[in-house]
Chains A and B, each alone.
Chain A
Amino acid sequence: MRGFLASMYIGLQIESNWTKKWVWLLYLAAYPIGSFLAVIILYRVFGQKTGLLPYALYGTIFYYSLSMVFFDMAFSVHDDREHYQTLKYIFLSSTSYRTYLCGRAATRYLIALAGIIINLCWLIPVLRLPFHPNWGYLIAGTILGYLVAAGLGLAVASVFLLTIKLDVDVVDALFGGMFVLSGALFPPTAFPAVFAKIAEFVPLSPFIELMRRAISGKILTSFLSDMSTFQLLGRVALSAAVLFALGWVLVYFGSRQAQRKGYIDVTTAF
């Protein structure tokens, strides 16, 4: 636990100590705007009649909360190994690398959530978004969201441990694909039938839908509407358990292999 908290603290320092605290708080509030600015403009200009703005906005915001974690976990491998050249020291420390990554992920997730909460405070009244939260589902979903994001992030980090030239563009592409399929921005029913079916099984889809229902208090589209909110929660819990366990195991093997290959302290300047 001490190692986890220390990793969270390191994560917080890396994220915030480049500026004054008040500037960082402004940054924290402004950062998520980029993720939903296009949604607001497009749905206000072209999609007012569709009534899909709450669906897209909540979806994009909750997708953002996860994507920050994946990206940061993948990038932290590169950053610690190449940029700060501290990966070898983390491996030498008494804290396991998996605990370190989970601590970093927890900080990133909390920072993303803080940014989301700040922005929802103005988005909900200004855009008149439906807001009838079910706090139980919201809190459970938030905790499970961390496990989903950390699980995927660990899996990606394990790949990055074993490759010294892989660029974070790969993560962008991977999660860009998931963004399309997860139905974060529009209901996947717009896709051809095969892709619409695949969308239901993308690990992020049930989480995003659960959070939408938990915050808006209603089912906004027909996507996953055949499942009750409790069933969705069960599915998210299952995804979270499987992904987290998978990520945990992959980083275990990835770390051992990386140590054998001498990838822990290699610098390539790529």
Chain B
Amino acid sequence: MKKKLLLFLRTLNARAYVRIFGQMREATWVVASVLGGFFTMTTYIYLYRTLGTGSEFSGLVVLGGFMTPFFLNVLWGVATQLYWEKEMGNLELMLVSPAPLSAFLVGLSVGGAMHTMLRSLAVLFFGIAVFKVQFTLLHLPLALLVFFVTLFSMYGLGIVFSSLFLYHGRDAWRTADLVMEPTNVLSGSYFPARYLGLGLLGIAALIPTTLGLDALRQLLVPSFTVKVLDWRWELLILIGLGLVFAFIASWALRSVEYKARRDARLTLRWQ
């Protein structure tokens, strides 16, 4: 048991290391992703100014801009990673090694979250500096708790999807491309999720970013009143979602890996 745990942690550390330091190798990657996030944020802040909404909306957009890189990292850096490993020929090496596949994915998530954190903080910094957005820091420890629980839940969802991507090839890739923007919109990155209406909100609540962002806005933006639920309830739901996703992820990874081995799809490239 101790050996297994040690192997899990070593694999996790190795994969996280590559993700954190590999992504720092090219300065253009960091600059481009920060600029991309900043431009999206700018677009929506000016849009709200055009629509004549209150200045508190700038704060909501800046927080959305802070969380969006995490969502993109979950989708493109975790969910699709096994597909890419397969395409690059690394997956077979990973599978014949004694290291558990789940440790690779948790390592990816931890590393991904850490390197995305730097980018997100840069977007947040520019948002605050350029648009003079103010947040209350009275509930900062609680906001941090909500933030980390949201990340746990989001990356859990990413690992669930990674097993689907392992089995399906380009069709899953295309699906990710298709759902990326609508999911980002539905999670309320650019506006309070409450405006979605009950029907859409029911679907959007399954995306951890939706409730996580809503809770963060309640805790950090003093004038934010259009909440979905009280942040305490949202925190509980996020913990529940995270646990459910972790359970499904572990089950899905095992069964999809088995199916992929059976159908000889683990080394099947360009499909």
Distance in angstroms from B97 CB to nearest chain A CB is: 17
Where chain A touches its partner, the secondary structure class is: helix
In angstroms, how far is the closest chain A Cβ from the Cβ of B233? 24
- Provide the A51-95 mask, 1 if CB < 8 A to any CB of B, else 0: 010001000000000000000000000000001100000000000
Would you list which residues of chain B between 83 and 107 have a CB under 8 Å from chain A?
87-88, 90
Q: Which of these, B32, B50, B169, contacts A173 with CB under 8 Å?
A: B32
CB pair A37 B181 closer than 8 Å: yes
B195: interface (CB < 8 Å):
yes
Q: Is B35 an interface residue (CB 8 A)?
A: yes
A42-B190 contact, Cβ under 8 Å, with A34-B182, A37-B185, A50-B50: yes
Complex Cα distance, B177 from A148, in Å, reads 24
Chain A residues within 8 Å of chain B by Cβ, number: 39
A159 to chain B, nearest CB (A): 11
**Do B39 and A19 have beta carbons less than 8 Å apart?**
no
A19 and B171 in contact, given A37-B181, A45-B191 (Cβ under 8 angstroms): yes
* Stretch among B40-48, B137-145, B260-268 lining the A interface: B40-48
What chain B residues lie within 8 Å of A165 (beta carbons)?
Answer: 25-26, 28
Contacts A27-B174, A186-B47 given; indicate if A180 touches B39 (C-beta within 8 A). yes
Establish whether residues A190 and B49, one from each chain, have CB atoms under 8 Å apart when the complex forms.
Answer: yes
Tell me the A147-179 residues at the B interface (CB within 8 Å): 165-167, 169-170, 172-173, 176-177, 179
Can you list 11 A-B contacts with CB-CB less than 8 angstroms, sorted by A residue number?
A19-B174, A34-B184, A50-B50, A56-B47, A165-B26, A165-B28, A173-B35, A176-B40, A186-B51, A190-B49, A269-B88
Interfacial residues, chain B to chain A (CB-CB below 8 A): 25-26, 28-29, 31-33, 35-36, 39-40, 42-43, 46-53, 87-88, 90, 169-171, 173-174, 177-182, 184-186, 190-191, 195-196, 270
